[in-house]
Amino acid sequence: MKRTATAAAIAAAMTAIAPAVSGQQSTQRVQGMQAGVSAVLVDVVVRDRRGDVVRDLKPGEVQITEDGVPQTIASFAPVLDGKVLPPDGAPAAAAPAEPLASRSVVGAAASVEAGPTVTALVFDHLTPEARKLAVGNAQRYIGSRTEAPGYVGIFGIDLAMSPFAPFTRNLQVLKQGLERMAQRATSTLNSDEARDKATKLEQAAGSAAAATSAAEGAAGAGGSNVGTGAGDAMLAQMQANMIRGYDALDREQSGYSTVNGLFAIIEQMRRLPGRKSIVLFSEGIALPPAVQRQFLGVTDAANRANVSIYTMDAAGLRAESDQAKIRDQVNSMGNGGGGILGGGKVGGGALSQSLEYNEDVLRQDPRNGLGTLAKDTGGVAFDNTNNLRQGFDRVESDLRNYYLIGYSSTNEKFDGRFRAIDVKVSRPGVTVAARRGYFAVRDTGGAPVTEFEAPALGALEAKPVPNAFPVRAAALLFPERERLGLVPVVADFKIAPLSFSPSGDGKTYLADFVVLVRFLDSQNQVVKKVSQHYEMNGPIADLERAKQGEVLFYKEPELAPGVYAMETIVYDTPSGKASVRFATVEVPKANAAALRMSSLVIVGRAEKVPQKDRRKNHPLMVDDVLISPNLGEPVSRKAKEVGFFFTVYAAPGAALEGIVDLVQNGKPLGQLPLQLAAPDAAGRVQHTARVPVDQLPPGTYELRVAVKQGTTQLSRTALLRITE
């Protein structure tokens, strides 16, 4: 899901409200905390048996453990009625402001005068009935106010994330946003209906298979008409598998869009001080295995940003839980005979597929995904009710009444593992809501970290820098008219050095690894991060052939003009081995109306791409051919020639001229003119050519290309290594 436009809208809203929220009073430095990346801030809500806020908690009554190890509390600041107080209850004096970005901590300090609160109302993949219930409760809450208690934004997540109201205290704007949300159409599959249909078909398959077994027995005693039941069973099972397959794809897409939407909102809310909240209206979060790996990253991102997530089951009062539905499905399968559980004509792999499907659906039950998300971020889950007003009241109270507790972790290793935080209060009869953990990585500058990325980031901390296997990486410049800061990133490496593990049955293999690239600015802040998680599997007989392959990682981040440090990590998950590469990337200022030129690319290989897979605006696609860059691999003289490629973005007016030089040790070896084609409709000229190498002595050469238009001239260079 593309988050760029929505994230920009949220960022603009944050910029507008930040002065109102944090500018009223200076941000208070948390006293007693040591500056450093190991500082952790946890906001804790404590309530008594009646549900009232405990207002007189003392530091000695609180114990914090991290991965079961007791931690020493270094700071303890009550936040009551929106004001930060010292432990003795006297008003706190304002301290000089300190930019939040300058403190590498998990969590964020509250301002001395908390002022207006910030809450995002998020409506996630709701059916018409659930949306009506959720919007109705939100409208009653907003409509009962004479003024908004704080800044509220309204967002919807479906196939994409859409803002329906910016963060505002204007009640009229919020009411209009809720009205638009109420009229929104849903685009998701009705999963309950799909599951019911698939279950009935599987029951029919089981019954038909059982009938076939009985008929076969009769045939052995002289009966006939064997085969009709088997055909019916096969057709019913095929239909059930099709429905389940489509529903699984729909749930995976739904889960990804939910996770990515929450990442985008949290990433921007992080900029504000103190505790913030997200109220998530959902009927359950789809968490198939691929999405589950990113789900823990939402907890980490929310805890680093001091965002608590309150989940509200938009299905309202449920007469029957999803766990009961799954139980009935499994029981019905068991009663169906040989078709599913009995190993008859239709059996085979259907059982394991169904069990995996049921496991995914169990994760979608509100008491699982929604409850975990709320509990792990210090929020509360509200379900099995049609009246969600108590949820809104709880959110409003928690935002203004909590204890901000800080400690420096005794575990100073940034290994990327998830650290579990547990907060206990010795006072009897109280309930505690607190954040449950974070990834042990250095401050990410707001960029979310997923479960598979965290260990790769941990590899950056290893001393010496890991270099377990050969890796090449590079960032290219392609200042497209609509994407002037386009910096395609390429990394390649052989698969053979990675770990390949046999499965439990010994019939298949599995490889699991991650490629991650991030860019840091001159202040050492992460400004962009791209990654890819790879899982390779296949028959064990094909293992040796699979090891002969290589991986070409490719992403298209965009960067503002400036100089960046680029870090590339390839991390082998089973072994924990990694290779890290560092580079410096300079992105020059570009003018869409002036002459521009891409990087000069030495062609590693070129392959023709089928029509259905071609992307018109791919910077490395020339007509129907995709170019893979050579990232420093030596070229044998036996190849006779080597190709190169670049793109010119012409300005209106004068014709283009070009020359190519080959240089060794600063000495020109030859120069040839380049005949450049006329620019296309987008002003681009994609040029490919070849340089003969069979007569060149082995060594390192510099290929230079210069392009001139009028009085403007640009040049690019690339290194070329020639071997025998």
Mean pLDDT by 10 residues, the chain (724 residues): 52 56 41 49 94 94 96 91 71 39 50 69 91 92 81 89 90 94 67 53 56 54 52 64 59 81 89 88 81 84 91 74 52 43 37 50 62 92 82 91 91 90 96 92 76 92 92 96 94 94 85 95 90 92 90 95 96 95 95 94 92 86 92 92 95 90 90 90 91 92 94 94 92
What CA–CA distance (Å, rounded) separates 379 from 321?
Answer: 22
| Distances from the Cα of 448 to the Cα of 10, 305, 441, 453, angstroms | 16, 10, 11, 10
The pLDDT value recorded for residue 384 is 77
Cβ-count burial 535-548 (b if 16+ within 10 Å, e if not): ebeeeeeeeeebbe
Look up residue 571 and give its amino acid.
Answer: Y
Q: Are 29 and 96 in contact (CB under 8 A)?
A: yes
**Alpha helix segments (H runs only) across 365-452:** 369-376, 389-400
- Helix orientation angle between 350-364 and 322-334, rounded to the nearest 10 degrees: 170
The pLDDT value recorded for residue 620 is 94
Give, rounded to a whole angstrom, the gap between the first and last alpha carbons of the chain. Answer: 47
The pLDDT value recorded for residue 241 is 63
- CA nearest to 332, candidates 190, 192, 207: 207
- Structure tokens belonging to residue 446: 């707001």
Residue with token string 């084609």: 677
DSSP letter assigned to residue 113 = B
The region, left, alpha or beta by phi > 0 then psi within -120 to 50, assigned to residue 513 is beta
Strands 508-520 and 501-502, how do they pair?
antiparallel
The pLDDT value recorded for residue 712 is 93
What CA–CA distance (Å, rounded) separates 533 from 138?
Answer: 38
The pLDDT value recorded for residue 353 is 47
The pLDDT value recorded for residue 96 is 36
Residue 598's φ and ψ, nearest 5 degrees, are -80, 180
- Structure tokens belonging to residue 174: 């919020």
What CA–CA distance (Å, rounded) separates 259 from 285?
Answer: 9
- Structure tokens belonging to residue 637: 């003289």
Q: Which helix (H) or strand (E) holds 137?
A: helix 128-143
DSSP letter assigned to residue 577 = E
The pLDDT value recorded for residue 345 is 36
What CA–CA distance (Å, rounded) separates 291 from 259?
Answer: 8
Q: Are 376 and 422 in contact (CB under 8 A)?
A: no
What CA–CA distance (Å, rounded) separates 317 from 304?
Answer: 33
Residue 323 CA to chain centroid, in angstroms? 28
Residue 6's φ and ψ, nearest 5 degrees, are -70, -40
Q: Are 462 and 578 in contact (CB under 8 A)?
A: yes
| DSSP state letters, 595-652 | -EE---EEEEEEEE--GGG--TT-TTEETTEEEEEPSS--EEGGG-EEEEEEEEEPPS
| Distances from the Cα of 209 to the Cα of 227, 339, 351, 352, 560, angstroms | 10, 5, 14, 18, 63
Look up residue 586 and give its amino acid.
Answer: E
- Structure tokens belonging to residue 287: 């968490």
